Amino acid sequence: MKTSSLLSIGAAGIATAAFLLTSVAGRAQILTGFTESGTAGQSGGGNGLSAFEFTVTQAIDITDLGFFALSIGGGDTPSVAIFDVTNGLANATEVVNSGNVNSGLTNDAWNYVAVAPTLLTAGHTYAVMAVTYFSPTYASSAGFTYGAGITSETYLEGSGFGGWAAIPGSGTAGNWGSYSLSSLSVDSGTIDTPANFEYTLVAAPEPSTWAFLALGLLGCGALLRHSPSRRAVV
């Protein structure tokens, strides 16, 4: 086979694979961690740290962190963070943090803040959380819906308000600022929902994509094998 033909096959295969991979990424659908159902109430002041715990069944990329503001003042510094709690709350480690989200907040609404795409690993358990003074509450999560790729949904609540914790990485393992994550317990009576997230699924390439990539690499390999060897000039 001519060198030009081998080169064309290799280039075409690699270009097609790259196009297919880019197309998959471009079609990624933005999903939401959970969607509430029913009429929300309002928690009394001082509920503190609240979290939504979930397990990832397919790798996902976090794109935005969401905070539901009910009554936020100018001096408040709310933030949202996701912790990896696979090894328990006492050993939780911070994965991503929104920092202070007070600027431009709309009360009585979800406020989403873009973050650098952050990969959450399949098989790991995480908790998205926020410190709040007032938060929306629901009688139960029975009618809630959840995004694809996550399961084992649990809502956790803290023992009381102890100040804000907006600084990313503001704690050692198992802590966020002045809050010990071990103090969180399963919500009883009502479900607090101050923190959420948006994400995309990390899709595995289709078999055809791998086939085109393999064809391209084979073409390039054949080209190298058929290239005339060069002798050193003495």
- Per-residue pLDDT, averaged over 152-162, amounts to 89
Any idea what DSSP says for residue 71? S
Written out in words, the top-level CATH class of the domain with range 31-201 is mainly beta
Question: Does residue 185 carry a pLDDT above 50?
Answer: yes
- Per-residue pLDDT, averaged over 71-95, amounts to 92
Question: Does residue 169 carry a pLDDT above 80?
Answer: no
Any idea what DSSP says for residue 149? T
Gap between the Cα atoms of 207 and 141, Å rounded: 39
| pTM across the whole model | 0.77
Give the chain's mean pLDDT.
Answer: 80
Domain boundaries along the sequence of the chain: 3-27+205-226, 31-201
Gap between the Cα atoms of 118 and 62, Å rounded: 5
- Per-residue pLDDT, averaged over 111-135, amounts to 94
Contact indicator for 118, 211 with CB cutoff of 8 Å: no
Instruction: Give the lowest-confidence range in 3-7, 191-195, 216-220.
Output: 216-220
- Per-residue pLDDT, averaged over 147-167, amounts to 87
Gap between the Cα atoms of 147 and 207, Å rounded: 25
* Model pLDDT, residue 59: 98
